[in-house]
Amino acid sequence: MISLTRLTNGTLKRTAPEMNPLLEIRNLQTSFHTPYGTGRAVNGVSFSMNKGEIIGLAGESGSGKTMTALSILRLLPENKVHISAEALRFNGLDLLSMTDEEMRMIRGHKISMIFQDPVAFLNPAFTIGQQLTDTILTHMKISKQEAAALAVETLSKVGFTAPEHKFHYYPHQLSGGMAQRTMIAQAIVTRPQLLIADEIATSLDATLQNQIIDLMLLIRQELSSAMILITHNLALISQMADRIAMMYAGEIVEIADKENLFRNPFHPYTIGLLESIPRIDKKSEFLKTIPGNIPDIFHYPAGCNFSDRCPRVMEICCHKKPGYYELSPGHKALCWLGERAATT
């Protein structure tokens, strides 16, 4: 798969994948076992990413984006969830065969996740400085004083003014933007190689959203961390990602570099989502929508998962699952229309 590398002058260059990608996922499947049956939340997700690359996982709520991230980190209850994959490797290490203790050392150190709701994630009983210091001491062999100094430095890095003072704040003293910055500080304080950010700017107003985007891009530049951005906000992803994977019903239905996906969207789901974005240059009375809902994880259609909402559905789509078609280097779509495109 073709990827993008940022050159030192800031431009992007297409590159072949590294021999050893930072993250390699092949045919990831995540199933939930419930009294009502087995539901498949992730259905054969595959992608790999290089060091420093930003991949956006986009799609409506319930499309499997967060489940993919939680599966990578094995943060789902093992007694109820079954995760399998042909490959789930980070830096060549097989994440699925690691012990719980080994996974704990990877999480929050080599791979960090920034969650959607920072206030719920932060412990109200401890100051943010204490929480940051504890994270540092869990993963780094340094003294308490050094950890506290690193915590203050990280608060400053994520944009806190007077960080020595804010170090002593409790979570209830933080505004929404400050709470999100604290979560980002928690995630980057150990300089992870991979950051997973789940809807990090969704609940913020436009000004704060832009500040968080700038901050994340600065972090990528400084730490060279790769990032997986999970969002339903295509405008946000367009500002940050190098590549975009569109998810629907637990599958990646289209993946391409950002420019290609926005200029030449192929999958009817991608086209539908792009047409539903409000545009100032288009005078239309109503925004387009995609009728219907994502199928629930217990009842997928027999053929293409998008068949009951797709404006271009064909007979074959209703009874036979499509495969991936490569439309151009690195641009793939899971759609029977790809077969036609390949033969015309």
Among 310, 327, 330, 332, the residue binding ligand SF4 under the rule CB under 6 A is: 310
Tell me how far, at minimum, the Cβ of 320 lies from ligand SF4, in Å. Answer: 9
Our CB check for ligand SF4 shows the closer of 217 and 313 to be 313
Our CB check for ligand SF4 shows the closer of 3 and 307 to be 307
Under rule CB under 6 A, which residues in 316-335 are in contact with ligand SF4? Answer: 317, 322, 335
**DSSP-assigned states of every residue in 23-79:** EEEEEEEEEEEETTEEEEEEEEEEEEE-TT-EEEEE-STTSSHHHHHHHHTT-S-TT
Helix (H, G, I), strand (E, B) or coil at 7: coil
Among 229, 304, 325, 332, the residue binding ligand SF4 under the rule CB under 6 A is: 304
Our CB check for ligand SF4 shows the closer of 59 and 118 to be 59
Taking each helix axis as running N to C, give the angle between helix 144-157 and helix 176-188, from 0 to 180 degrees, rounded to the nearest 10. Answer: 130
Tell me how far, at minimum, the Cβ of 269 lies from ligand SF4, in Å. Answer: 6
Return the number of other C-beta atoms located less than 10 Å from residue 194's C-beta.
22
Q: Which residues pair with 82 in a beta bridge?
A: 31
Among 75, 218, 314, 341, the residue binding ligand SF4 under the rule CB under 6 A is: 314
Among 113, 306, 330, 332, the residue binding ligand SF4 under the rule CB under 6 A is: 306
Our CB check for ligand SF4 shows the closer of 160 and 306 to be 306
Among 32, 266, 325, 336, the residue binding ligand SF4 under the rule CB under 6 A is: 336
The candidate with the shortest Cα–Cα distance to 20, out of 49, 45, 43, 47, is 49
Our CB check for ligand SF4 shows the closer of 76 and 318 to be 318
Our CB check for ligand SF4 shows the closer of 25 and 304 to be 304
Q: Please, what is the Cα angle at 221 between 52 and 232, to 5 degrees?
A: 65
Among 82, 168, 312, 319, the residue binding ligand SF4 under the rule CB under 6 A is: 312
Our CB check for ligand SF4 shows the closer of 81 and 255 to be 255
Our CB check for ligand SF4 shows the closer of 150 and 304 to be 304
Token code pair at residue 186: 């928690």
270 binds ligand SF4 (CB under 6 A): no
182 binds ligand SF4 (CB under 6 A): no
Among 21, 52, 129, 268, the residue binding ligand SF4 under the rule CB under 6 A is: 268
Tell me how far, at minimum, the Cβ of 245 lies from ligand SF4, in Å. Answer: 16
Q: How many residues bind ligand SF4 (CB under 6 A)?
A: 14
Tell me how far, at minimum, the Cβ of 99 lies from ligand SF4, in Å. Answer: 41
The candidate with the shortest Cα–Cα distance to 71, out of 29, 112, 34, 128, is 29
Handedness of CA 204, 207, 208, 212 (dihedral sign): positive
Residues 116 and 57 sit within 8 Å (Cβ to Cβ): no
Residues 254 and 330 sit within 8 Å (Cβ to Cβ): no
Our CB check for ligand SF4 shows the closer of 16 and 314 to be 314
Among 169, 271, 313, 324, the residue binding ligand SF4 under the rule CB under 6 A is: 313
What residues contact 38, with CB distance under 8 A and at least 6 apart?
Answer: 31, 32, 298
Q: Please, what is the Cα angle at 197 between 280 and 189, to 5 degrees?
A: 130
Q: Counting Cβ atoms within 10 Å, is residue 179 exposed (0-12), middle (13-18) or buried (19+)?
A: buried
Token code pair at residue 275: 């047409």
337 binds ligand SF4 (CB under 6 A): yes
Return the number of other C-beta atoms located less than 10 Å from residue 62's C-beta.
19
Tell me how far, at minimum, the Cβ of 312 lies from ligand SF4, in Å. Answer: 4
Return the number of other C-beta atoms located less than 10 Å from residue 268's C-beta.
22
Q: In the complex, which residues of this chain contact ligand SF4 (CB under 6 A)? A: 267-268, 304, 306-307, 310, 312-314, 317, 322, 335-337
